[in-house]
Structure 1
């Protein structure tokens, strides 16, 4: 099915491989992740994640074959959403979240599709959603978490710049704020003072905004320990360029601090 003209949501196509089976879903934004997403989904199957949460691939219109429907179905994917409208990660997440809410899920876990994160920890997020938490941030830096082969520049930028600014904005102490491994309750995403389905969220704005808005509104938030592992050698799997990407991230942090993403 093709969705066009939905306010605040990019045009996209939905391929449902199975009906809604669970209370919660996992949205995985990807773009040309090749064998990384395959390995991640294999890990998910190994730990039976697809049995406790429907797995939704939020694709940015990949061209490398990683979204082959037969492969995805074999790996336990419930549905594939393919974005055709404008935008990058923020647009993919808006697409996935909107569709998940329309389908009736009570909460949404998001995780990158590059196989850096411990997808086997998803039950921890679901447990917190069941306990009534509205925003659950995964962290490699709290007790029980593991930061494996984190590049020094990434480690320093998160610990000394990104996390302090997000924490100050949120009025809640977070430790791993660039980590897209987190969960959101239906209550949070549907809150009238959140309104995530707006075209201002095109790249990484939505991650920064949703990191702070829940605690600003007095909703229930927490961090839980996860593992984030970078490869020992070879190219770092990331979509953020060193100069422009990091400059854009800092600009987003400042706009978020000033409240520019809050509903008018």
Structure 2
């Protein structure tokens, strides 16, 4: 398969015990892809663990502290656009997203879709969660499907692949939402723009080294955001289209990281709002 110039991204915070194995597995499944890691200054030496691998196709962007998962993904969007990539894969660093699914995601995108999600809940998918966590996750995705009228089974995982040319049509400022609500919001913004959406089945595994970083209040914030998005989907109308162009930050000097939003400008690398 003659595939696109591909970038694979994951965010890290205290993932030193996972990253080496993950990068090796990615290299086996997608040897031609580049990798960019956004690390929020992990005190366990995650960034150093990546650098010690000595891989020329791996870039580590170390931010000054914990600036949020959504802004880490937006930084990857900006990086992909600024560096001329054609496809962007996003995934978790904790071992829950198995690189064995990368070829299926890439092939699905290459078959004519704009945005493909790895789904635990479609036919052929699997999830290692059990008990309360499984029920909450299933309920969240069923509620999203019903309220948003988007025919997907998975809205909340970050295991995804995008055509970068389509990313440029998004309102990056609208994606400046807290925590895991970013993933729901991205689906809604894509659906409103008429993107061709698809899913492939994945096996969502228990994380490896480390502990979950999902705060307890995230469920409540997610419910509130889902209600807001349902209103936007129904009453928001057709979004305006203005191609995203990478903008430099005058504070940290990053050449592609400033996002414009209703509340003002924000650099998704350093967090500066000027």
Q: List per-residue Cα deviations over 1:220-258 (Å, max 9, x = no partner).
A: 001101111116xx998421123x122222222222222
For 1:66 and 1:236, how far apart are their aligned partners in 2?
12
For 2:54 and 2:223, how far apart are their aligned partners in 1?
38
Displacement over 6 Å in runs of 4+ = 260-264
For 2:58 and 2:36, how far apart are their aligned partners in 1?
6
2:133 to 134, 142, 154: 154
TM-score computed with the length of structure 1 as normaliser: 0.78
1:173 to 144, 151, 176: 151
Counterpart secondary structure, 2:46: coil
What's 1:8 paired with? none
2:83 to 100, 103, 106: 103
1:73 to 47, 50, 54: 54
For 1:250 and 1:132, how far apart are their aligned partners in 2?
32
> Structure 2 regions of 5+ residues with no counterpart?
241-261, 263-274
TM-score computed with the length of structure 2 as normaliser: 0.75
For 2:127 and 2:34, how far apart are their aligned partners in 1?
27
Q: Does 2:214 correspond to 1:240?
A: yes
Change (3 A) 1:188 1:65: same
Q: Does 2:64 correspond to 1:90?
A: no
- Equivalenced residue count is 233
- Matched-pair contact (CA < 8 Å) for 2:94–2:209: no
1:213-228 → structure 2 map (5 Å cutoff): 213-228=189-204
For 1:248 and 1:235, how far apart are their aligned partners in 2?
27
In the TM superposition, residue 165 of structure 1 has moved relative to its aligned partner by 3.1
